[in-house]
Structure 1
């Protein structure tokens, strides 16, 4: 089952464009009329109405004024902010440093009671060791040329892990077997991380599954994602951070998680794969 990572954000942009076009029609105007009244090109009106170019807040204000619909301005700007928040590029999200990016997610973690996490690249942040987190964030900081606040960002992530042990929260983690064998931080760091996975898996509120590397699996690896309760999904892609709240798409990710969980091994079989990965380090 394919999951469209950008469809929710695009649908939100399309809905905003449709509302602007409807306001234009209700005022008895055309896109060309809007362009004349706002003193911009006719192609700009067309791009906005067809969701090819997202409007700015000032564009929305000018559009509503041109159509005599000033009473709808604030609502439309709020819709714009919602659409913008669905997709955030890493450069924008991390422009103030990695520490702030880590802190921004804490309220979501605090209000969530059921976590489901699938990772095909790295050990999920909630169950990383400090040395593993340090190695991962240092690599991100160097690769993206960010301000060096890795020490502070690591401390923030470690503090966020407290939710794993507090309250009545439930956690289900799925990782690809390749994650166990990826050399993040070197052999010593990986050995400590693999040992930590065994410890975490013993917690009564945690389920840890490993999807084995097999030559005949029918459900191929996907992009890493988190499901928070049944209301929100976050997807970490190469270019940015996607937030999904549309129920039908949240359900798609939940279905994908269930399919991957059915392929995974748990308990003693998962520990055997972790032990095999540890043996390879030595």
Structure 2
């Protein structure tokens, strides 16, 4: 969990404690507040000490239970403020993958210059429909989320229109491992690699590949996107991190530049893709 997120959760906990201790009818004990709603008494402690993230319903009951219902709007605004930075897959995928794709479509529309790093799969913006379909299916199984695969694929394909927008620039780096990962049938991966080769000729795309035999100055870790040098989106197994504080964004900029030093471009990148294509065709 990020330091900024935890600090914000702890600050919200402090505010909850203040409300409990300043209840108009006299300060409430944690046990008294918990008793009003049948909560385990440890829940009050966990919330006040930043050990548990409250739900909007928890905040509504807290404001009502402490006799300060007017505080609810403030509390829920605090919650939304720090949850906007950590977006759990459980919540995001409650209605399926399309909503998440639409969110990214909107974010792409608002930015012009993109820097991306991917170590395990092909960038979504360069995926074929069949490859994207395989990815969405596998993640829906993992996250146990609703199956809206075709709607999600259409949204992802819609985002690819940005590749042909002359006002946009995509600076992308991939690890060769992503070209060889059989997260889909071999025939689908072969077609995907053909699509990837074609992206090298786009004037809006600078595509670099780090060969498996290349020397890495830092580990090939988590994938991320940088939007206009002002916001970073990082995908983890449990959530997406939307990061916009200057110091953290600068860390990802340095990370991207360091990874770029190991990448090959142009004809050399095409050769790496072609070798991966020959490898998958032999399977």
TM more than 0.5: yes
In the alignment, is residue 77 of structure 1 matched against residue 73 of structure 2?
no
Residues 12-65 of structure 1, C-alpha deviations (whole Å, 9 max, x = no match): 312322444466678899986465467467644332222012233354455556
**CA distance, structure 1, for counterparts of residue 60 and residue 140 of structure 2:** 38
Residues 173-193 of structure 1, C-alpha deviations (whole Å, 9 max, x = no match): 111110111123233222221
Q: How far has the Cα of 1:256 moved from its partner?
A: 1.1
Q: Which runs of 5+ in 2 are unaligned?
A: none
Retained in 2: the 8 A contact 1:90–1:240? yes
Residues 116-169 of structure 1, C-alpha deviations (whole Å, 9 max, x = no match): 111111001001112211222222234444433212221121112112212511
Q: How far has the Cα of 1:260 moved from its partner?
A: 0.9
Q: Which runs of 5+ in 1 are unaligned?
A: none
Identify the residue that residue 222 of structure 2 maps to in structure 1. 223
In the alignment, is residue 86 of structure 1 matched against residue 85 of structure 2?
yes
**CA distance, structure 2, for counterparts of residue 138 and residue 64 of structure 1:** 41
Residues 47-90 of structure 1, C-alpha deviations (whole Å, 9 max, x = no match): 22220122333544555567776655422311112223332332
Identify the residue that residue 11 of structure 1 maps to in structure 2. 7
1:1-282 matches, within 5 Å, as 6-21=2-17, 33=29, 36=32, 39=35, 43-61=42-60, 63=62, 72-214=71-213, 216-282=215-281
Q: How far has the Cα of 1:222 moved from its partner?
A: 1.0
**CA distance, structure 1, for counterparts of residue 164 and residue 27 of structure 2:** 56
> Residue 100 and residue 62 in structure 1: after superposition, are their counterparts in 2 closer, same or farther (change >3 A)?
closer
**CA distance, structure 1, for counterparts of residue 267 and residue 15 of structure 2:** 55
Retained in 2: the 8 A contact 1:8–1:246? no
TM-score, scaled relative to structure 1: 0.84
Residues 224-271 of structure 1, C-alpha deviations (whole Å, 9 max, x = no match): 111112222222112222222222222222221111112211222211
Retained in 1: the 8 A contact 2:125–2:159? yes
**CA distance, structure 2, for counterparts of residue 246 and residue 31 of structure 1:** 37
> Residue 175 and residue 42 in structure 1: after superposition, are their counterparts in 2 closer, same or farther (change >3 A)?
same
TM-score, scaled relative to structure 2: 0.84
RMSD: 2.9
Retained in 1: the 8 A contact 2:173–2:209? yes
Q: How far has the Cα of 1:278 moved from its partner?
A: 1.4
2:234 counterpart SS class = strand
Retained in 2: the 8 A contact 1:88–1:242? yes
Of stretches 201-210 and 49-58 in structure 1, the one that deviates more from structure 2 is 49-58
Q: How far has the Cα of 1:6 moved from its partner?
A: 3.1
